[in-house]
Amino acid sequence: MKLIAMIPARLGSKRVLKKNLRLLNGRPLISYNIETAVKSGVFDDVYVNSESDIFSEIAYRYGAKFYKRPEKFSTDSANNDQFAYDFIDNTDGDILIQILPTSPLISAKEIKGFINYMIENEFDTLISTVPHQIAGIHKGKPINFKNLEPHISSQEMFPIETYATVLMGWRYNNFMKNMNKLGFAYHGGNGKIGYYHIKGLSTIDIDNEEDFRLAEVAVKMQMQSNFSDPEYYKGMKDRVEIEVPEILKKDGVLKTNFSEENKPRVDLNKLISKYGSSSSWSHRLVNTENNSVTLIAQLPGEGNRLHYHPNWNEWWYILKGKWEWDIEGEKTIVKKGDLVFIGKGRKHKITAIGHEMAIRLAVSRADVEHVYPGSL
């Protein structure tokens, strides 16, 4: 039994200009299915069928033969039956497998499966289809469900099949009989007809510019040798931050000074006056293995994010202005001269309020974990 592959390619195309010659990831579109057909090893001959000699260069380069069809079978009015009939009438074979170049991701495995299915079931015509497990309507009427019955899940519906057309199989003798008797043979005519499901990336059919872009992405993806395991959303989780300068920046503190610490004596009034009250700032005064003392100044409405410290207590002394302390959902107002203590593990959030800059002296430790609950 002689198996022939035919890859039809017309130079003219309207929706995507010269699409069969267009480069897809650096190669002519048509080259993908030529290479796949040749490397499948199942065909006695692989042909590119076109009216244009430019396709002969590509055919020979990728290991195929070239069949030049008459110009009359390459016009807008010519159909698949006509150029397939011309090809079958002028080549020697038993089964013709037509592979459209516009589905460049068809695999050699699928081509082999298609051919085996055709031979084993003795089909005269085999058509590749795409199954759709979904409710379908034709001319306003349900196909696989009933309006007067309860909705069923798509998994329980019988699939609707549509032509994929990337693979079409015809036995030479049956195709010729149908053409000579009926004048057509594409859909099978008289003879045993079968349908073969293809799925996944193989169903991509380039019919417009968007399809071409999609195919480009898919080809590049297929070239990747390693794919990471799928990841799934696991819900909100706590996030841990330790670096205090970065934490303060995220809290909106514009100026931070962590380089002038552990001085024997600091004039706080002079230091505060130096920074002014036009924008937020922070200055670390003490940093030892056990304690960290930082001045934090913020404008009304500014503050920090809700967090807690799992392994450390923290306390503050208010030097200026007013603050709203939210501790475990309970809010309280503190002002100049107040001292606030929060034990480890208690969620809290601080916001400056009033009409002037508020300043607090924060006493903790430099490497204390700040845990922000419910963060992405």
Q: How many CB atoms lie within 10 A of CB 78?
A: 17
**CA torsion, points 286, 288, 293, 298, in degrees to nearest 10?**
90
Residue 165 sits in the same domain as residue 303: no
Residue 14 sits in the same domain as residue 86: yes
User: What pLDDT score does 92 carry?
Assistant: 96
Is residue 257 within 8 A of residue 272, CB to CB? The reply is no
Q: Which residues are registered as beta bridge partners of 126? A: 169, 194
- 280: domain CATH number is 2.60.120.10
- 106: domain CATH number is 3.90.550.10
Query: 177, 194, 223: which is the final residue of a domain?
Result: 223
Within a domain: 279: yes
Within a domain: 201: yes
Residue 219 sits in the same domain as residue 242: no
Residue 175 sits in the same domain as residue 147: yes
Gap between the Cα atoms of 356 and 295, Å rounded = 16
Residues in the chain with pLDDT values less than 50? none
Q: Which residues are registered as beta bridge partners of 125? A: 170, 193
Within a domain: 108: yes
H-type alpha helices, 259-318 = 268-275
Residue 108 sits in the same domain as residue 197: yes
Within a domain: 233: no
Within a domain: 228: no
Residue 169 sits in the same domain as residue 302: no
Within a domain: 334: yes
Sequence-ordered list of residues with C-beta below 8 angstroms from that of 9, at least 6 positions apart, any chain: 20, 30, 48, 49, 50, 52, 55, 101
Gap between the Cα atoms of 98 and 125, Å rounded = 11
Gap between the Cα atoms of 49 and 68, Å rounded = 6
Residue 214 sits in the same domain as residue 318: no
Residue 188 sits in the same domain as residue 322: no
Within a domain: 229: no
Query: β-pairing, 141-142 with 137-138?
Result: antiparallel
Query: 175, 195, 223: which is the final residue of a domain?
Result: 223
Q: How many CB atoms lie within 10 A of CB 22?
A: 15
Gap between the Cα atoms of 4 and 168, Å rounded = 12
Residue 189 sits in the same domain as residue 276: no
Residue 253 sits in the same domain as residue 192: no
User: What pLDDT score does 375 carry?
Assistant: 62
Residue 72 sits in the same domain as residue 143: yes
**CA torsion, points 27, 33, 34, 40, in degrees to nearest 10?**
130
Can you tell me which residue has the tokens 């009033």? 354
Domain with 364, as residue range(s), is 238-375
User: What pLDDT score does 281 carry?
Assistant: 96
Residue 285 sits in the same domain as residue 194: no
Please give the tally of structural domains in the chain: 2
Residues shown for the chain? 376
Query: 223, 251, 268: which is the final residue of a domain?
Result: 223
User: What pLDDT score does 233 carry?
Assistant: 75
Within a domain: 311: yes
